[in-house]
Chains A and B, each alone.
Chain A
Amino acid sequence: MWYGLGLDTGGTYTDAVLMDISSGKIVGKAKALTTRDDLSVGIDNAVKGLRDFNGGNVAVVSLSSTLATNSIVEGKGCRVGLVTVGRDFDGSIPVDTCFRISGGHDIRGMEACMLDEEAARASLALMKDKIDGIAVTSYMSVRNPDHENRVKKIATEILDVPVVCGHELSSSLGFNERTVTSLINSRLIPIIKELIESVKEVMAENGIGAPLMIVRGDGSIMSETVAVERPVETILSGPAASLIGAKNLTGIGDAVVMDMGGTTTDIGILRNGYPRLEKEGAVIGGKRTHVLAAEISTSGIGGDSRIVVDGGRFYLSPMRVIPLCIASDKWPQIKKKMREVSEARSKRASEGRSSSNTVQDMEFFTMVRASGHVPLTDADRRFMELISSEPHSLNEAAAKLGVHPFDLSISKMEEFGIIQRIGITPTDILHAEGSYVQHDAEASVCGIGYAADRMRLSPCEFIALAKERIVYKLSEELLRKLFFEETRELNFDRLAKDLMDKAISGKEGLDFGCSVRLNKPIIGIGAPVAAYFPQVAEKFGAKLLLPEHSEVGNAVGAITGSIMETLDVVIRPKVGGNPDDPPCTAFSMLGKMDFKSASEALDCLLKEGGENVTERAKKAGADYTDVKMDVNERRYVVGMGTGTGDVLLEIEVHITAVGKPRQFHMASDAAISEGSVGR
């Protein structure tokens, strides 16, 4: 029996699944808390949670990780140098050392200016020992990569660091986006290397000697060697893996996938079995890149979202807190503190404050990590010391420290991520209700009772209200995503908001009601989905699929993903020649190539392109690959109305090689031969 091990490190949980390769069945699953400082600890815990398996039987391991995305957002990474050819970079992300040299091509791939190799040599020599990675981008390099390739060659001679060229990562026009993509890629290389090394250590400890695959932002997978060269492609791989997981758990290729995790809910669309990709390129940390990633809308509603009752009103906030029930597992004494707050509360009048991050009486704080370089006041430092042993509420801590609660810089310490709030969450709602009891439900019941009392509701009424509000929020996010898919519009005017509200709430207007009907099923992924998604699906007349193992859907997606390599070619006609089959120039990663006719160009590129993607797919770890070619001829009609027919504008060729890791075939072959021996 051979297994595939799928791993996913999410914002809150790290999941592991064990899949029987020959049958595709999930035979084991486990969850552990994600350890942000060192992901391998959480991965190790998750792998250890998988009981009854022999590491020697694991044929392949596949990992999806938020590490790259987080590193970019947090500005982590190594020192990066940049050489631009023929144009200045707009500086939209920081660079450690940057030189511009003359060179570059025009839009038709002709050399616009000679490459100044002398200058390249001189600038690269100046960068020696000052950088850990380098990006080379040249103006119009997608139309002719020659100058990038030549500078790369010089760079490898002079420097001993990884070199990446813009055209290797993207075939799309847009010098600045290409440069941003290359720089992020260079910056991430040591980070991904470290991750791979630490994961391999965990694997070795657990007796797993199988090769490691890494999930890409489009849901496909690549070998660790390729991942180290192109780490930027791993960004947003978690949500993409959840789409692939949803497809494999249900066998359905056209669906809306809603993944409710601890921190966020991600909504993506599957069309024809593939995630819908962001055509313009993914936006990370506010910067547009050229990375093809699944287009996912993310909203701050998850199992750990903060619920607040303030001034007699109910609020659902995107802030992430530790649920009371989980905190109480770790610190049982918190329940006593909660009861004290409840009792004290009856003596005080109901406050009316805002829904912002104002600390509530029933919220507690715990230390996440030592303050390090964070500048703190004396009171803050004593506060940190106090909460390092056990959680305290703000009032309790202030009383013990003899300071006013306002003297403590709570929001600053939260922003720096050194303290973490504990409070009421949707997870507590489910625990208090009794529908999902993984942790200490008693703590949840106490917290909910307190909140309900403040709204003068019974706990049952409060739970019903909270669920209704969560369902409304999820429905709103779903409609926003669907409307965006249709119209590419993110800002809703009054009319759109009104229609959306009627469709979700079912309220009647003066003369009309409104309903929205989905034409594809919803697949729910994540632990708390059964509690909310049935009502969401019902509102829109959609079929809801809650597949078994959906709570580890991302890890399933990681291990069931395919290896995929693509090549984009643009073939453009040259002036003159036979208009039906004109002489052409082809632009691609392979370089600029001239052909006598369009048909000759197509024949040649389909052959060479097919070989190129197959070779790259093999390098990425695939065995047998299927090569698929999409040829899109774009023609236009000349507007004179003389009926001269249409003219070729350009041919877009999209060549893809898809395959499974070769261990899949070995495992199936082994299974077959085992079977035959048995017979």
Chain B
Amino acid sequence: MSKEELYNRLSEAVVGGKPDITKNGAEEALSLKFNAVETINEGLVKGMSIVGERYAAHEVYLPQVLMSAQAMYSGLNILLPAIPKSEMLDQKKCAVAVVEGDVHDIGKNIVKTMMTASGYHVFDLGKDVPITVIVDTAESENLDVVAMSTLMTPTMDAMKDAIDGLIESGYRSKVVVTIGGPPTSPSFAEEIGADHRDENAQNCVTWLKGAL
């Protein structure tokens, strides 16, 4: 099978949400000694960006995105360990978290997917994440980006606490902070001292490319 054929098969499987096909395709790529990074970028990521764009354009629904994400991860699980360490050095690091008090993490998971698809090393801190965990991880993992989200109004000011915490620790100037979630807005982001707020994951990734 040619490289092109395999890459197309992988990206179509991501778009169609078929985890078995991506898993088999990834294994095949490795057995044919294709470059793992290239396979991720030209196959899985390409498919995921198509889904991201369609979602941003309201052409597909959320469950379809989640299925595509699952397909991408099942391919990534095979390919990521095959990337030599030296190629990972200049990879940007990002943490995603749903802030303390909130457990709604679908949006956060989409952001995680898009960030992974864009080549970030993503630290998924999960949901209901204490402020200190966000602040400490930023410093200990030397993060480039902190992405926070919340669905609910009462938990919004935990984002301000997290940013205040980064200022106290002295790490704020070294990291880009972006936020999301339905109750937030660009003016809220400005008010609490975040760098950016976006309403969808794909646009946020595009913005980050320019910001870093």
Q: Which residues of A contact B (CB under 8 A)?
A: 87, 90, 106-108, 112, 139-140, 142, 173-177, 572-573, 575-576, 634, 636-640, 644, 647, 649-650
Sampled A-B contacts (17; CB under 8 Å): A90-B170, A107-B132, A107-B161, A107-B162, A173-B168, A174-B170, A175-B170, A177-B170, A576-B154, A636-B156, A636-B185, A636-B188, A636-B191, A639-B182, A644-B153, A647-B156, A649-B160
User: In the bound complex, what is the Cα–Cα distance between A112 and B183 (angstroms)?
Assistant: 29
Contact of B169 among A175, A573, A649 (CB under 8 A): A175
Contact of B161 among A108, A175, A576 (CB under 8 A): A108
State whether A572 touches B185 (Cβ < 8 A). Answer: no
- Whose C-beta in chain A lies nearest to the C-beta of B191? A636
Judge if B16 is at the interface, Cβ distance under 8 Å: no
Contacts of B161 in A (CB 8 A): 107-108
Contacts of A173 in B (CB 8 A): 164, 167-168
Contacts of B153 in A (CB 8 A): 638, 644, 647
- Whose C-beta in chain B lies nearest to the C-beta of A636? B188
Contact of B168 among A175, A576, A636 (CB under 8 A): A175
Judge if B131 is at the interface, Cβ distance under 8 Å: yes
Contacts of B192 in A (CB 8 A): 636, 649
User: In the bound complex, what is the Cα–Cα distance between A634 and B160 (angstroms)?
Assistant: 12
Judge if B184 is at the interface, Cβ distance under 8 Å: yes
- Whose C-beta in chain A lies nearest to the C-beta of B181? A639
Listed from nearest, the 8 A-B pairs whose CB atoms lie closest are A639-B185, A173-B167, A173-B168, A107-B165, A638-B183, A107-B161, A176-B170, A636-B188
Contacts of B165 in A (CB 8 A): 106-107
Within the complex, the shortest CB–CB distance from B11 to chain A, in Å, comes to 34
Contact of A140 among B101, B155, B168 (CB under 8 A): B168
State whether B185 touches A107 (Cβ < 8 A). Answer: no
Judge if B187 is at the interface, Cβ distance under 8 Å: yes
- Whose C-beta in chain A lies nearest to the C-beta of B186? A639
Within the complex, the shortest CB–CB distance from A651 to chain B, in Å, comes to 13
Contacts of A573 in B (CB 8 A): 157
Within the complex, the shortest CB–CB distance from A195 to chain B, in Å, comes to 32
Q: Which of B160, B183, B188 has the most CB of A within 10 A?
A: B183
State whether A107 touches B164 (Cβ < 8 A). Answer: yes
Render B177-212 as a binary contact track against A, CB cut-off 8 A, 1 for contact.
000001111011001100000000000000000000
Main secondary structure on chain A at its contact with chain B?
Answer: loop
State whether A637 touches B185 (Cβ < 8 A). Answer: yes
Given A139-B168, A636-B191, 11 extra CB contacts under 8 A: A107-B135, A107-B165, A173-B167, A175-B170, A573-B157, A636-B187, A638-B156, A638-B185, A639-B188, A640-B182, A649-B157
State whether B185 touches A575 (Cβ < 8 A). Answer: no
Contacts of A576 in B (CB 8 A): 154
Within the complex, the shortest CB–CB distance from A521 to chain B, in Å, comes to 34
Q: Which of A173, A639, A647 has the most CB of B within 10 A?
A: A639
Known contacts A140-B168, A173-B168, A174-B167; is A575 also within 8 Å of B183 by CB? no
Contacts of A90 in B (CB 8 A): 170
- Whose C-beta in chain B lies nearest to the C-beta of A142? B168
User: In the bound complex, what is the Cα–Cα distance between A600 and B101 (angstroms)?
Assistant: 26
Within the complex, the shortest CB–CB distance from A81 to chain B, in Å, comes to 22
Within the complex, the shortest CB–CB distance from B179 to chain A, in Å, comes to 11
**Residues 139 to 180 of chain B near chain A (Cβ within 8 Å):** 153-157, 160-162, 164-165, 167-170
User: In the bound complex, what is the Cα–Cα distance between A177 and B168 (angstroms)?
Assistant: 9
Count of interface residues, chain B, beta-carbon cutoff 8 Å: 26
User: In the bound complex, what is the Cα–Cα distance between A636 and B184 (angstroms)?
Assistant: 9
Within the complex, the shortest CB–CB distance from B130 to chain A, in Å, comes to 8
Contacts of A634 in B (CB 8 A): 191
Contact of B131 among A107, A176, A644 (CB under 8 A): A107
Q: Which of B153, B168, B170 has the most CB of A within 10 A?
A: B168
User: In the bound complex, what is the Cα–Cα distance between A644 and B182 (angstroms)?
Assistant: 14
State whether B191 touches A106 (Cβ < 8 A). Answer: no
State whether B182 touches A106 (Cβ < 8 A). Answer: no
Contacts of A140 in B (CB 8 A): 168
Contacts of B184 in A (CB 8 A): 639
- Whose C-beta in chain B lies nearest to the C-beta of A178? B168
- Whose C-beta in chain A lies nearest to the C-beta of B188? A636
Q: Which of B160, B170, B187, B192 has the most CB of A within 10 A?
A: B170
User: In the bound complex, what is the Cα–Cα distance between A637 and B188 (angstroms)?
Assistant: 7
Within the complex, the shortest CB–CB distance from A441 to chain B, in Å, comes to 53
State whether B187 touches A637 (Cβ < 8 A). Answer: yes
Contacts of B157 in A (CB 8 A): 572-573, 649-650
User: In the bound complex, what is the Cα–Cα distance between A588 and B191 (angstroms)?
Assistant: 21
User: In the bound complex, what is the Cα–Cα distance between A575 and B150 (angstroms)?
Assistant: 15
Contacts of B168 in A (CB 8 A): 107, 139-140, 142, 173-175
User: In the bound complex, what is the Cα–Cα distance between A572 and B131 (angstroms)?
Assistant: 16
User: In the bound complex, what is the Cα–Cα distance between A173 and B173 (angstroms)?
Assistant: 13
Within the complex, the shortest CB–CB distance from A104 to chain B, in Å, comes to 10
User: In the bound complex, what is the Cα–Cα distance between A176 and B131 (angstroms)?
Assistant: 19
Contacts of A575 in B (CB 8 A): 101, 154-155
Known contacts A107-B161, A173-B164, A174-B170; is A649 also within 8 Å of B191 by CB? yes
- Whose C-beta in chain A lies nearest to the C-beta of B135? A107
- Whose C-beta in chain B lies nearest to the C-beta of A648? B157
User: In the bound complex, what is the Cα–Cα distance between A644 and B162 (angstroms)?
Assistant: 25
Within the complex, the shortest CB–CB distance from A149 to chain B, in Å, comes to 18
User: In the bound complex, what is the Cα–Cα distance between A647 and B132 (angstroms)?
Assistant: 24
Contacts of B167 in A (CB 8 A): 173-174
Within the complex, the shortest CB–CB distance from A647 to chain B, in Å, comes to 7
Within the complex, the shortest CB–CB distance from A636 to chain B, in Å, comes to 5
Q: Which of B101, B165, B184 has the most CB of A within 10 A?
A: B165
Within the complex, the shortest CB–CB distance from B41 to chain A, in Å, comes to 34
- Whose C-beta in chain A lies nearest to the C-beta of B154? A575
Contacts of B132 in A (CB 8 A): 106-107, 112
Contacts of B131 in A (CB 8 A): 106-108
User: In the bound complex, what is the Cα–Cα distance between A173 and B166 (angstroms)?
Assistant: 9
Within the complex, the shortest CB–CB distance from B79 to chain A, in Å, comes to 38
Contacts of B164 in A (CB 8 A): 107, 173
Within the complex, the shortest CB–CB distance from A652 to chain B, in Å, comes to 12
State whether B170 touches A639 (Cβ < 8 A). Answer: no
Contacts of B185 in A (CB 8 A): 636-639
Within the complex, the shortest CB–CB distance from B71 to chain A, in Å, comes to 32
- Whose C-beta in chain A lies nearest to the C-beta of B197? A639
User: In the bound complex, what is the Cα–Cα distance between A416 and B58 (angstroms)?
Assistant: 70
User: In the bound complex, what is the Cα–Cα distance between A623 and B183 (angstroms)?
Assistant: 50
State whether B183 touches A639 (Cβ < 8 A). Answer: yes
User: In the bound complex, what is the Cα–Cα distance between A575 and B101 (angstroms)?
Assistant: 10
Contacts of B135 in A (CB 8 A): 107
- Whose C-beta in chain B lies nearest to the C-beta of A177? B170
User: In the bound complex, what is the Cα–Cα distance between A622 and B106 (angstroms)?
Assistant: 60
Contacts of B170 in A (CB 8 A): 90, 174-177
Within the complex, the shortest CB–CB distance from A536 to chain B, in Å, comes to 36
User: In the bound complex, what is the Cα–Cα distance between A90 and B139 (angstroms)?
Assistant: 13
User: In the bound complex, what is the Cα–Cα distance between A108 and B164 (angstroms)?
Assistant: 10
Within the complex, the shortest CB–CB distance from A174 to chain B, in Å, comes to 6
Within the complex, the shortest CB–CB distance from A167 to chain B, in Å, comes to 12
Within the complex, the shortest CB–CB distance from B200 to chain A, in Å, comes to 14
Within the complex, the shortest CB–CB distance from A233 to chain B, in Å, comes to 22
Within the complex, the shortest CB–CB distance from A197 to chain B, in Å, comes to 37
Within the complex, the shortest CB–CB distance from A438 to chain B, in Å, comes to 48
User: In the bound complex, what is the Cα–Cα distance between A107 and B131 (angstroms)?
Assistant: 8
Within the complex, the shortest CB–CB distance from B127 to chain A, in Å, comes to 17
Contacts of A640 in B (CB 8 A): 182-183
Within the complex, the shortest CB–CB distance from A287 to chain B, in Å, comes to 12
User: In the bound complex, what is the Cα–Cα distance between A498 and B155 (angstroms)?
Assistant: 49
User: In the bound complex, what is the Cα–Cα distance between A342 and B183 (angstroms)?
Assistant: 79
Within the complex, the shortest CB–CB distance from A399 to chain B, in Å, comes to 56
Contacts of A176 in B (CB 8 A): 170
Within the complex, the shortest CB–CB distance from A111 to chain B, in Å, comes to 12
**Residues 62 to 114 of chain B near chain A (Cβ within 8 Å):** 101
- Whose C-beta in chain B lies nearest to the C-beta of A576? B154
Contacts of B187 in A (CB 8 A): 636-637
User: In the bound complex, what is the Cα–Cα distance between A572 and B192 (angstroms)?
Assistant: 13
